[in-house]
Chain A
Amino acid sequence: MIEELALDCGADVLGFGDVSEALPPGFAHLPVGISVGMANAQSPGGAARYDHRDVEIQSALDEALREIAAFLRLRGYRYFCCPAECDPMESPFTARMAHRFSHKAAATCAGLGWVGRNGLLIHPELGPCVSWATVVTNAPLPLGDPWTEGECRGCMACAEACPAGAISGKGWRRSQGMHRLVDADRCRDSLDTVERETGARVCGRCALACAAVYRGKGAADRKQLALNWSNL
């Protein structure tokens, strides 16, 4: 089954959701999103910066997508793989489209998490340091209950940690989109400064501050996750 395929590739979370409202034009016939998440093991304690791009995780996610694609193809379903961030030169067409497709939207539709004040997808147990990839398909799969509002409650850790003051502190609502959460211009300007000073375009303080809230949620929550899987 799909969940086993993904887990064998090292995925930590998997869910199915109705993504029909989040699809780019031309994708309406593929309304079911299969959302695959892999926790970034390097989500570091005490590090000054966090780079979400991890080559190993991305290739493991790509492998999971390939397995899922083969599974769907064999059964005669349509699908489109939206890879995790990848080199557009390697897969010149699907990778370009992937930038127009939101893995976050797919994950919230599948009920795997919500969008935090920092604009990142927050998994209730794993926190923000999770890499995502998505397959959209016409296969009938048991759909999760979508998340439509943020669950950050009173937490403003990311907004306080942002060196650019780019995080408004507003809570996410699906109906209102994500643009009001983070001031993209300020975030970009701040990244420009970091890049000039360090040579690397990496900040991720909003993710680190958020991750600190979730750190320590270990074994017990993993068990809960396993229970969630078995319900699929």
Chain B
Amino acid sequence: MSDSVLIRLFVNGEEHALAAPPQRTLLEALRYDLQLTGSKQGCDKGDCGACTVLVRERSATGRGEPILACITLAQDAQDLAIITIEGLATPAGLDPIQQAFADCGALQCGFCQPGMMLSARALLDRCERPSLPQIQDALSGNLCRCTGYTKIYEAIQVAAGLREPSSRAPVSSEKALPSDQVAYAVKELLP
């Protein structure tokens, strides 16, 4: 086991100090040291985006830009202000992005969504009324396996005030006429 180093992290407005091996990733530090388990590990090598968090220089304003916590060393994040999914809601309630994701059915298994919602939040912070290609581009580092991205686009557009949630009504099928010939009965076909 390797020697530990002291690491200071500034997360969701709180300052934390922890002792961890130097190779501790930011994702491990968030999940296992600070118990901020909303950031997810899907691949641990920067491919899936489930660990996305927002970071900015501590002196800067705003929420910051998305980075991948699984390929960032915790030590290297010490000068940054970090926002995880737990830091997106306020005491007043969920962020409009979170609310829209819940309302529009953009959350299926929900596992990729903390990262997805933070990428979406960063997009709306820099572009209030994004076009569909802009949304697709902003989410292209976050893999989702459940939704086909369709309801995620919808949720972002709803959060941006660009549309209402889907309300298309199902279509009833009339009782189908029997096919023009009676289907063969199995018993006649088997020897």
B and A form one assembly: no
Residues on B lying within 8 angstroms of A by beta carbon are: none
